[in-house]
Structures are given as structure tokens and as C-alpha cells.
Amino acid sequence: MSEEPRADGKSATDASEKRDRKSSENVTEGSSRRSSASTSAAREKSASSSHEKPTSSSHEKSASSARERPKASSRSESGSQGATGKRISAVRAVKKAIEQFGTLTGRPPESVVGTRWKDDHWSVRLEVVESRRIPDSADLLAEYEVELDADGELMAYDRKDRYVRGRPSE
């Protein structure tokens, strides 16, 4: 069977080879996230053809090393930090104070005024809107001191100051 040249100067065989190549590229593009098994199989195939030792991917290394060593427990999984002598970070203490204060009072804090480690516990000062008014500059605000133990559990809270927004405190 003879090949007839096409208008663009290429034969029909060239066009079909190009089409086959494109369809295989499309399959590759459509499955950009290969499984580690197919990736390693492709690597082994290329390594065996060039007579080199196959190398494992970083994903395979991390997966195998995760199986070899026991998983270290994180702060969230370990539960109590006070018993081990460690305390939670200031950021975590503030987050826990906001969460627990809001749950207890039903008033979400508007801002964090300060935080401090005192002796054996965290002290976090929160600013809370006690009464919303129109205009906002007439809102009644209060500062609460929230005390958390070393684990981040709420021990106590007290209102320390009450004032109208926008007015200087005395």
C-alpha cells in the first residue's frame, strides 16, 4: 500500500503516529497524580533498561520510615501536659481561653488585651462587648481575666473593668 502525501507535506502514517503520541500524552496529563506503585513500576522499568539500581521516591522513603519508627504523640493527642511538667504555648492558651470563655458566657471576646504566665497558670485578659448600642461608639465593654492551668483548662474568670467604647479609662 503506497502512502499518499497530504497537502501539508506529511504522509498519513506520520499523522497517525502523531495522533497516537498525542492520545498517550493526554492519558498522562489526565492522570497527573500517579499511584506510587505505577510510578515505582515505571522507574524500575527505566532503571532495568539502563542497568542501574532503582531508586525510591521521597514519598516511598517517608512512607517506609513512618512504618519503621513509632509515631510520636502530638500535644493534641497527648491530653494532659501539666502532668509531664510542660505547659501549653501562649498562642494555644489564648485560643483555649477564647473558646472556653465564649462557651461559658455566651459572649464571644472581641479582642485579646494581654496574656501572661503567672506562677503555675496562664492569665489571659479578654475584651468583651457586654451591651451593643447604636452607634457602636456607645457599646458597653468589659475586660475579663481568664485563668487557665498548664494544660489550658479554664480555672477561673473575673471581670476586671467595665467601660464605654471610645472613652478613655480613668
Q: How far apart are CA 96 and CA 146, in angstroms?
A: 10
Q: Which pLDDT does position 168 carry in this prediction?
A: 72
Within 10 angstroms of residue 30's Cβ, the number of other Cβ atoms is 7
Residue 136 CA, distance from chain mean position: 35
Q: Write the pLDDT tens digit of every residue in 107-118.
A: 999 999 999 999
Q: DSSP assignment, residue 152?
A: S
Quote the percentage of the chain above a pLDDT of 70. 49
Contact status, residue 164 vs residue 141, Cβ threshold 8 Å? yes
Residue with cell 457599646: 139
Contacts of 34 (CB under 8 A, 6+ apart): 42
pTM higher than 0.75? no
Closest CA to 141 of 167, 114, 103: 167
Identity of residue 139: D
Instruction: For the chain, list the domains and their CATH numbers.
Output: 12-51 (no CATH), 81-164 (3.10.450)
Q: Which pLDDT does position 116 carry in this prediction?
A: 97
